[in-house]
């Protein structure tokens, strides 16, 4: 159901508030460049700094702007199961096509706890669900056996965003889950290797600044043009690395501001880039012809 270059879109701010106009313009730009899906309120969307009503408004604007042309997969994860259910229910009511749920963070559940958490959400809200495994952010790694168990038990769990960067783990998920789940890269540098293993695309940070190339890399792979997909992989590699010079989404929002797409504005505890890193980012974006 969910495949291709799916952008984990930033949330633009202006004078401390959600910039709805800039957000809608970004989504229109993405659609024009071939992006295959939108994820509002993910890690890159600074979901952890949004109040509940803001969170819902960001989803609502995304749904309206996309207007069913490409799927909107709302970030609805929380470290409390009841809260995750509540947010997911609201996202469904707002018209989201799916929900992306990060593994519960900070409280470090066991594999059994992860299974029960996701099953509770999937049972409570009949919306297509993407699991999101990102141990570097959450301090817990959902094992392939747990993913396979959930895929078997919950028919509306349809995909996983695998952001361990571990191709052995990704391969094991694909082996165990077969056609029950689409497996998406959560790290741009692993997108092409994951496609080679049988994956289905990425929920991407880099697509925020290079949507056409990110989408075309997937399209080229799908039509069997391996050389073109590989060339785009290597073209994007310096940009992929640049997006993590500092904590995501600081570099990507800075890049979009350099491109004139949004205001360069963050919410504490995130802040502007260090000067040296900013210059490094600018040089990479110039080399990639993303800015002049």
187-229 pLDDT per residue, tens: 999 999 999 999 999 999 999 999 999 999 999 999 999 999 9
Residue 105 annotated in active site: no
DSSP labels, 199-245: --EEEESGGGT-HHHHHHHHHHHHTT-HHHHHHHHHHHHHHHHHTTS
What's the pTM? 0.96
Name the band, by pLDDT with cuts 50, 70 and 90, for residue 15. very high
Instruction: Inform me whether the pLDDT recorded for 74 exceeds 90.
Output: yes
Instruction: Quote the pLDDT of residue 191.
Output: 97
Instruction: Quote the pLDDT of residue 127.
Output: 98
Residue 106 annotated in active site: no
Instruction: Quote the pLDDT of residue 1.
Output: 78
Instruction: Quote the pLDDT of residue 179.
Output: 86
Report the pLDDT averaged over residues 272-290. 97
Q: Which residue out of 90, 92, 161, 253 is catalytically annotated?
A: 161
Sign of the dihedral through C-alpha 83, 86, 87, 89: positive
Q: Which residue out of 132, 155, 263, 289 is catalytically annotated?
A: 132
Q: Which residue has the higher pLDDT, 178 or 70?
A: 70
DSSP state, residue 261: S
The per-residue pLDDT of the chain, averaged, comes to 97
Instruction: Quote the pLDDT of residue 93.
Output: 98
Helix 81-93 to helix 111-124 angle, to the nearest 10 degrees?
A: 30
Instruction: Quote the pLDDT of residue 56.
Output: 98
Instruction: Quote the pLDDT of residue 178.
Output: 85
Residues of the chain above pLDDT 90, percent: 99
Report the pLDDT averaged over residues 21-50. 97
For the chain, report the end-to-end CA distance as a whole number of angstroms: 37
Superfamily assignment of 4-223 in CATH?
Aldolase class I (3.20.20.70)
Q: Which residues pair with 83 in a beta bridge?
A: none
- pLDDT tens per residue, range 140-191: 999 999 999 999 999 999 999 999 999 999 999 999 998 899 999 999 999 9
- pLDDT tens per residue, range 240-261: 999 999 999 999 999 999 999 9
């Amino acid at each position: 159901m969910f495949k291709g270059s799916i952008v984990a879109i930033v949330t633009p701010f202006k004078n401390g508030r959600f910039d709805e106009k800039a957000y809608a313009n970004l989504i229109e730009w993405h659609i024009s460049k071939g992006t295959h899906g939108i994820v509002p309120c993910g890690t890159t969307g600074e979901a952890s700094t949004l109040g509940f009503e803001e969170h819902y408004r960001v989803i609502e604007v995304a749904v309206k702007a996309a207007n069913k042309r490409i799927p909107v997969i709302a970030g609805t994860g929380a470290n409390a199961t009841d809260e995750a259910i509540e947010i997911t229910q609201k996202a469904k009511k707002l018209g989201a096509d799916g929900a992306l749920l990060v593994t519960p963070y900070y409280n470090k559940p066991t594999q059994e706890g992860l299974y029960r958490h996701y099953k509770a959400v999937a049972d409570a809200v009949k919306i297509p669900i993407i699991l999101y495994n990102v141990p570097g952010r959450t301090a817990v790694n959902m094992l392939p056996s747990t993913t396979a168990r959930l895929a078997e038990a919950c028919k509306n769990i349809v995909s996983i965003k695998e952001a361990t960067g571990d191709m052995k783990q990704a391969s094991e998920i694909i082996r165990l889950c077969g056609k029950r789940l689409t497996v998406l890269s959560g790290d741009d540098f692993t997108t092409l290797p994951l496609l080679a293993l049988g994956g289905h695309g990425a929920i991407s940070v880099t697509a925020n600044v290079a949507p056409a190339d990110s989408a075309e890399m997937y399209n080229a792979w799908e039509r069997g043009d391996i050389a073109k997909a590989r060339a785009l992989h290597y073209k994007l590699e310096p940009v992929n690395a640049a997006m993590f010079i500092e904590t995501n989404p600081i570099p990507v929002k800075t890049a979009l501001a350099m491109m004139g797409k949004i205001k360069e504005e963050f919410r504490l505890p995130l802040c502007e880039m260090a000067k040296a890193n900013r210059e490094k980012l600018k040089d990479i974006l110039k080399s990639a012809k993303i800015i002049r």
